[in-house]
Amino acid sequence: MKEDIYIQCKEVSIGYRERSTSSTVVKKDISLHALSGEMVALIGGNGIGKSTLLKTIAGFMPPLSGELLVRNRPVSDFSVAELALEMSFVSTEIVRVANLTVREMVGLGRFPYTNWFGKLNDRDQMIIDRAIFQTGLSGYENRPINRISDGERQRAMIARALAQDTRIMVLDEPTAFLDISNKYEIVRILHQLVSEQGKCIIFSTHDLNTSLTMADRIWLMLEDRVVEGIPEEMASAGYFESLFPKNQHLRFDQERDDFRIKRENHGVVNLSATGQELIWAKKALERLGFKVNPSLAVSQSLSPSVSPSLRRPSHPSRPSLSVYPSLRHSVPPSSFFLEIIQQPKGWNIIYSGISQNVATLEDLCRTIKKITTQPVS
């Protein structure tokens, strides 16, 4: 399929025009584009102007300056009726109309095509059926939209936009307020529309994980500028780290495609464990604010015949102690150093020369918490 440029912003300023002279600029110098067959995720902090940008693209408010092209034609050239044939919109507004069935609401999407009285013909009915099917709402046609779940209502709103049969769809936070299953379902539906019908879908989201794994393009709104690119490029260029410059407690986790809260750093743990136990013990220790020594955690396999006493730090010749003190992490002088060894039943904790056995992972966590909250003088 030949790719066409569907949306192009050239040095666009967005904002609110107040009176004829003054205006409030929300963001300026926005240069972005979106192609056919692309799913574009618009990412940015609260109040940075995501909604304003989407409203400007959807033609609700004119750009203050610059050029905004919809399929190579300035958006200001379109009449409202013409734009409705190119672009559909799903807002954050929750529509609660009593007795309006899913099918009736999806039918409203045919507004640009129906006659003066809104009569739906066979073709309209077919398109409505298809939109309902594609959003997985078959069987919900006659349910009133104020009596279905948030996820179903959001899908119905997407079905209405689909019934409008436009090449471009703009959605303002379609996954907000939804549980994780519904979030993924919405993104999956959007992705399917993009890949099967070559639509261009632009949606704003706070859900970095889904957008980085599913979107073809990221529009990232930062404090000082707006950048775009494919997700992997954006991540490797380190743009996400600058998404929340004011928040010292967040860090971007490249492996997980998401932000993590920076934890207090208590120090380093040498962990000897295997299999599932290794994975969960590592997670638990990280949650408690330790860096798990990865080289040891991966390479060390537990040999049941070795007694815990032989693994004490006082025996530097043992392999488990070869990384002590860890050089891989810059450990502050006051930090803790722990060694944890999986045993046939439970765990062995070695801390400042004292060895202690615990039965479960929960006991392990409790013991470590006790150590970290009562630091040795």
Partner 1 sequence: MRLFRNSTVGFILLMVVLALLFMLDLLSGSVHISLYQSISTLFHPSTSDPQIAAILFQFRIPKAITAILAGAALSVAGLQMQTIFRNPVAGPDILGISSGASLGVALFVLSAGWIFGGIPLFSVAGSWSIVMAAWLGAGCMMFLVVMLASRLRDLMTVLILGILISGAVMAVVSVLQYFSNESTLKSFIVWTMGSLGSTTRDQLWVLVPSVAVGLLVALFSAKFLDAFLLGESYAKSMGMNLRLAYLLTFASTSILAGSITAFCGPIGFVGIIVPHLARKLFSSPLHIKLIPATMLMGAIVMVIGDLISQLPGYSTTLPINSVTSLLGVPVVVWIIFQHKKIGAI
Binding site for partner 1 (CB under 8 A): 55, 58-60, 80-85, 87-89, 91, 93, 95-100, 104-105, 108-109, 111-112, 114, 116-118, 146, 164
The answer to whether 65 touches 227, Cβ cutoff 8 Å, is no
Contact 212, 218 (CB under 8 A): yes
* 258 touches 306 (CB < 8 A): no
Would you say 118 or 332 has its CB closer to partner 1?
118
Nearer to partner 1, 114 or 343 (CB): 114
CA 213 vs. chain centroid, Å, equals: 8
CB-CB contact of 371 with 336 (8 Å) = yes
Q: How many CB atoms lie within 10 A of CB 214?
A: 18
The nearest distance, CB 81 to partner 1, in angstroms, is: 4
**Least distance from C-beta 131 to partner 1, angstroms?**
14
Q: What is the DSSP string of 312-328?
A: STT-TTSGGGTTPSPSS
Nearest approach, Cβ of 108 to partner 1 (angstroms)?
6
Q: How far is the CB of 51 from partner 1 (least distance, A)?
A: 11
Q: By C-beta, is 59 or 63 nearer to partner 1?
A: 59
Q: Which lies closer to partner 1 via its Cβ, residue 34 or residue 364?
A: 34
**Cβ(278)–Cβ(297) under 8 Å?**
yes
Structure tokens at 87: 């672009």
Nearer to partner 1, 145 or 222 (CB): 145
CB of 168 to partner 1, least distance (A): 11
Which of 105, 296 has the CB closer to partner 1? 105
286 contacts: CB under 8 Å, gap ≥ 6: 263, 292
Which amino acid would we find at residue 42? L
The minimum distance between CB 24 and partner 1, in angstroms, equals 16
